[in-house]
Structure 1
Amino acid sequence: MINMTANAAEAIVDLLARAGVRRFYTVPGESFLELLDAVAQHPELRLVSTRHESGAAFMAEADAKITGVPAVAMGTRGPGAANLAVGVHTAHQDSTPMIVLLGHVETEFFGREAFQEVDLARFYDPITVYAATVQRSDRAAETVARALRHATAGRPGPAMVALPADLLAGQCSPVDLPFPEPPMAHPSPQDVALAADELTRAARPVAILGRGAHDLHDKMVHLAEAYGLGVYTGFRRQDTFPASHPHYLGHLGLGTPDELLEPLRTADVVLVLGSRLSEATTQGYALPRTPARVIQVDVDPLVLGATTPVARGVLASVESFADALLARPASVPRRDWSAAHNAAMRLSDPEGMTSPHGIHPAEVVAAMRRRLPADTVLTNDAGNFSIFGHRYWRFDHPRSQAAPTSGAMGYAVPGAVGAQLAAPDRRVAALVGDGGFLMTGQEMETAVRLGLPVLAVVFQNLLYGTIAMHQARNLGRTAAVDIGPVDIAGIARGLGADSMTVTSSDELDDAFARAAAFDGPRVIAVRTDPDVITPTATLSGLLSRPG
């Protein structure tokens, strides 16, 4: 612990280090100089300088997704805070713990529209679980301790503290608070008994797994087997359950095939474990539907029944609820999910998919599956290309996916940097479109500078494909969706990364065979067919539809 005469910055950093935080991501600014110095001087901490604040926030978000421990994103005043916001919003929607520390204008200038002044607490309030401005140096560490508790208790999320520049050098005693594991919320015996009875009597019970089941791979498998549950994973929560397991029914995401949804449509009981039942997971809030009885388990009472009517809301952690169910002897009739599981396997097989006009995006994922380790951590960006990754890569290993449920573009490359720092012994690959790469691909320089062997796979179709698809479907024409034929491999080389451009399907296996060594930062730019807009639709087909 630091001495009793530390400045506020040192007290904050000491507090976070004792809480287990290890990495701080930032674009440096003059409003938090003492904080930067305190992190840099601490022997247990790593300070990561990024190329843009959005990259810093995405790195911190992915870091915490992989470790379960909050990382810190830092920025300066109005501009830095605005740039950080996209990653902070991602953490909020994804229920990812994060500490956000923002340099602020000096207290004597508050309210005068000082240089870069923004009311940071008001700005960040809708996208955080806690937002406060420090008013006194001696209360700085105490305020950050409160933020840390909000970020990690109940439904996790980002917590922001604004730190006026003139307070960071002031004295602040260390906050000597214990940091126990957040208390686990336990279900009542009645809730467990009633849920067990419903699951036992059900004819076709299915489960939907969300963020709350993130660390419970083996336990979710045991629960599915004990109660004969078919299992879906929520949107971009594919690493919560092994895809190869015979009870696996598929991923509830964008463009989910109707065939995969049939077990959910016909389920009589739906057990929702740690999912807030987002728009994507529920297929536009259409599923689950009556007459299915929904049992929703979550640590946040505000989540229970918030988007879908529930027959029973259980305020508990997924782990404690699963433990309680597994402790009960269950006599469950055999339920055969083989047809539904086989459909999920068939629909997730990319082999043989080709395009006469270029590389089919499914061919890229097929080559990845053949050449990359099965436990590779995948980060992905927003865009229609991501549908191919979600559908055709099979997630069989825990903590192997970091993807924004908020649909934020620019996530994948900085997310891969954060994931690699969080798990240096894992292989990490980013799946990104050319639009997303041109937003934050400069963070490959961060990977190069830090010696991180991340792989970025760029699906380069010269198009904002998602928007083009919606325009084609709704308007019959496109606008403002073009991206030029940028030399992405050349940009990557300029940033110091190894790179190559793939223009033929025949080159894919060799490219990924070399990439499988993960011996340094690498970018593979694949020229994919822009007409293949989803696994089941072409852009030309959508544009040519009558009316």
Structure 2
Amino acid sequence: MADGTTSKAGYVAAEVLARAGVGRLYTVPGESFLEILDAAEGHPDLSLISTRHESGASFMAEADAKLTGAPAVAMATRGVGASNLAIGVHTARQDSTPMLVLLGQVETDFLGREAFQEVDLTAFYAPITKWSATVNRADRLAEFVARGLRVATSGRPGPVMLALPADVLGERVPADPGIGVQTPPRPGPSPEQVRDVVSRLAAARRPVVIAGGGARNARGSLVSFAEAWDAGVYAAFRRQDVFPNEHPNYLGHLTLGTPPETLKALEEADLVLVIGCRLSEVTTQGYRLPCGDQAVIQVDIDPAEVGATVPTEVGMVSDAGAALAAFGAQAPSQPPSRNWAGAHGAYLESSTIPPVRASEGIDPSQVVGAMLKTLPGDALLTNDAGNFSIFIHRYWRHNHPGTQLAPTNGAMGYGVPAAVAAKLAAPDRTVVACCGDGGFLMTGQEMETAVRYGAPITVVVFRNGLQGTIALHQKRDLGRMSGVEIGEVDLAGYARSLGAEGHTVRDPDDLAPALEAALASDTVSLLDVVTDPDVISPTVRLSELASGTS
């Protein structure tokens, strides 16, 4: 590999990754980046995770980084691998997750000739990354890797892509790159802004907080702030673990299909403090909330996000934890009394498991009910996209930090790969992947990856034989369904063929025992739960939509 003073550039790049604290590199191996594969496999501080599909690799890297806060690496080869990888990179972009994407590229002499599997990777990835570049010189590869990690973790975190021509990776360069990765600066609030915000908080009658992913690592400060100022707290879309859900100041989750009674406190708020949240379409309920007559204070580490979607009266560029601590330090000795009992009670009522509505198969809410009875409170749930996930978000209460991994871009296929990465990153945690049959059939083969690397996850599939979200839209808007049926698949048998345990559950009485057996197992387990396709959401039946009664 090295002669004492020089080494191939690919090996030096791997050393930069290790020194920066990167732990895992997820990939489908390709011939265009052999040196990095070999270096990662042999490095004592790096783990090379070979997946069954590039989408699985990118989802795993995204989930790993979201859970740990440290960037993970996703790798693929040229145009074909890059295309498959892109879905997880888009997820990282919309979820503000730090990720470094390394794509093998055709040899430098062949660039621009539409060589075998060639795509202009820099242009391809530019819209879904913070920075994309092609590294044409081996002696600058270490520099580009260090810069990529810095960009990925600074400001609003996100993915960075580097395209690596195969010949560049094999060139010899100094073995010690002499390059470190700088820790990005974390800005804090100015004293003048803090005084302004504190005066507004003191004057407000019904101040509420919308907390996003940027506040995830400031959970303690957020709780202290909410208690000191008696402010109500909402969790942004799929950020439910940012604040304990059974805390009396918790008001609910701003998600798809948010119950009207949950939104009432936000609609009536006279001051909205947005912390570490980009105010996405879903969180704002279609850019409807906060509304124009409400005072908005937005705190974000990235200046480009402040006021980007909703006008603000005060915009503050700051680390979420630093801002919350500063606001809390100037809170009155006696907290204001604003009484959130009614709003919190509305959340608790809406998140209580309801009576069974299923007429055939199992009610999806019963599945969540069984999970609540059998899983530890700090279990880490990953979920796919689909209507089944509404039941998870509605009825599971996140009272512990780091218990939710879910794609805010609504990418199908996320659940299983995310669970694999979570178990590799946190092997002592109970990790459960929640999937619909549509999403599961896209990436369920990554259970083999879990088996191979000894990551005993539990997979719960809500199988209703439909692409449920699209079926709901079609029935509601058109009165009929098209192309949404999923055939009868023996998912338990499929799991067993991949080396996992597989169980089919058709009776609700069997749910809890099956979950208990899966949790007690020391291997990967799948529960194929046959649910009622008519119970399409917590409030709607497909048959009611078809008859025009809902």
Q: Same fold (TM over 0.5)?
A: yes
Alpha carbons of structure 1 residues 244 and 4: separation in structure 2 relative to 1, 3 Å: farther
Distance 1:407 1:92, change over 3 A: same
Q: Per-residue deviation at 1:351?
A: 5.0
| 1:437 partnered with 2:428 | no
> Residue 519 of structure 1: SS of its match in structure 2?
coil
Alpha-carbon offset, residue 2 of structure 1: 11
Residue range with higher mean Cα deviation, 334-343 or 267-276: 334-343
Give the C-alpha shift of residue 196 in structure 1: 0.9
Shift of 1:506: 1.2
Aligned ranges 1:35-46 → 2 under 5 Å: 35-46=36-47
Please name the residue that 1:55 is paired with: 56
1:215, distance to aligned residue in structure 2 (A) = 1.2
Say whether residues 1:347 and 2:353 are aligned partners. no
> Do the aligned partners of 2:458 and 2:519 also contact (CA within 8 Å) in 1?
no
Matched, 1:402 2:405: yes
* Counterpart Cα distance in 1 of 2:335 and 2:470: 47
Matched to 2:9, the amino acid is A
> 2:264 maps to which residue?
262
The code of the aligned residue for 1:278 comes to S
Structure 2 residue aligned with 1:71: 72
Cα-to-partner distance string for 1:69-93 (whole Å, 9 max, x where unaligned): 0110000000000000000000000
CA-to-partner distance for each residue in 1:236-283, whole Å, 9 max, x for gaps? 001100001000000000100000000000000000000000000000
| Residue 504 in structure 1 maps to residue 507 in structure 2 | yes
- Which of 525, 529, 533 pairs up with 1:530? 533
CA shift for structure 1 position 51: 0.2
The offset of 1:326, in angstroms, is 1.7
2:177 aligned partner:
175
Q: What amino acid is the match of 1:448?
A: V
Deviation at 1:399, TM superposition (A): 1.0
**Distance in 2 between the 1:437 and 1:178 partners?**
40
**Equivalent-residue separation in structure 1 for 2:522 and 2:136 (angstroms):** 48
Shift of 1:185: 0.7
User: Of 209, 212, 215, which residue of structure 2 is paired with 1:210?
Assistant: 212
1:307 to 306, 309, 314: 309
Q: Is the 8 A contact 1:511 1:524 kept in 2?
A: yes
- How do residues 219-230 of structure 1 correspond to structure 2 at under 5 angstroms? 219-230=221-232
Q: Tell me whether 517-526 or 368-377 shows the greater mean CA deviation.
A: 517-526
Amino acid across the alignment from 2:385: A
Residue number in structure 1 paired with 2:154? 153
Letter in 1 for 2:361: G
- Give the superposition deviation at 1:175: 3.0
3-state SS, counterpart of residue 244 of structure 1: coil
- How far is the alpha carbon of 1:442 from its aligned partner? 0.2
Name the counterpart of 1:91: 92
d(CA) in 2 for partners of 1:357 and 1:273? 44
Structure 2 CA distance, aligned partners of 1:521 and 1:3? 44
Which amino acid in structure 2 is aligned with residue 258 of structure 1? P
Give the match for residue 368 of structure 1: 371
Letter paired with 1:453: P
Aligned residues: 547
Using the TM superposition, name which of 512-521 and 467-476 deviates more: 512-521
Report the AA paired with residue 327 of structure 2. L
Instruction: Output aligned runs, 1:236-251, within 5 Å.
Output: 236-251=238-253
Q: What is the alpha-carbon distance in structure 2 between the residues aligned to residue 175 and residue 211 of structure 1?
A: 34
1:342 Cα shift?
1.1
Task: Check conservation: 1:231, 1:247, Cα contact below 8 A.
Answer: yes
- Residue 274 of structure 1 pairs with residue 276 of structure 2: yes
SS at match of 1:200: helix
The whole-number CA distance in structure 2 between the counterparts of 1:210 and 1:92 is 15
Counterpart of 1:519 in structure 2: which amino acid?
A: D
Tell me which amino acid in the other structure corresponds to 1:410: G
Aligned equivalents of 1:148, 1:443: Cα separation in 2: 27
> Structure 2: how far apart are the matches of 1:435 and 1:3?
52
Give the letter for the 1:78 counterpart: G
CA distance in 1, matches of 2:254, 2:3: 48
Decide whether the 8 Å contact of 1:455 with 1:518 is kept in 2: no
Deviation string 1:501-534 (CA, Å, 9 cap, x unpaired) is: 0001111111112123252100001000000111
- Pairing 1:109–2:107 present: no
- Within the candidate set 448, 451, 465, 2:468 is matched to 465
Counterpart contact for 1:139–1:172, Cα < 8 Å: no
Identity %: 58
Deviations 1:315-353 (A, max 9, x none): 111011011112214254211111111111111111533
* Matched AA of 1:272: V
1:375–1:179 distance in 2 versus 1, CA, 3 Å: same
Q: Which residue of 2 aligns with 1:381?
A: 384
Computed over aligned residues only, the root mean square deviation of the Cα atoms, in angstroms, reads: 1.3
Structure 2-normalised TM-score?
A: 0.98
1:478 aligns with 2:486: no
Match of 2:10 in 1: 9
Q: Once the 2 structures are TM-superposed, how far is the Cα of residue 473 of structure 1 from its aligned partner?
A: 1.0
Greater mean deviation of Cα atoms: 154-163 or 176-185: 176-185
Determine the C-alpha separation between the residues in 1 that align with 2:227 and 2:496. 49
> Shift of the alpha carbon at 1:219?
1.3
Distance in 2, Cα, partners of 1:26 & 1:507: 38
- What letter is aligned with 1:337? W
Q: Which segment is superposed worse, 329-338 or 133-142?
A: 329-338
> For the Cα contact (< 8 Å) 2:358–2:534, is it kept in 1?
no
**Structure 1 counterpart of 2:47, which letter?**
R
Tell me the CA shift for residue 290 of structure 1. Answer: 2.5
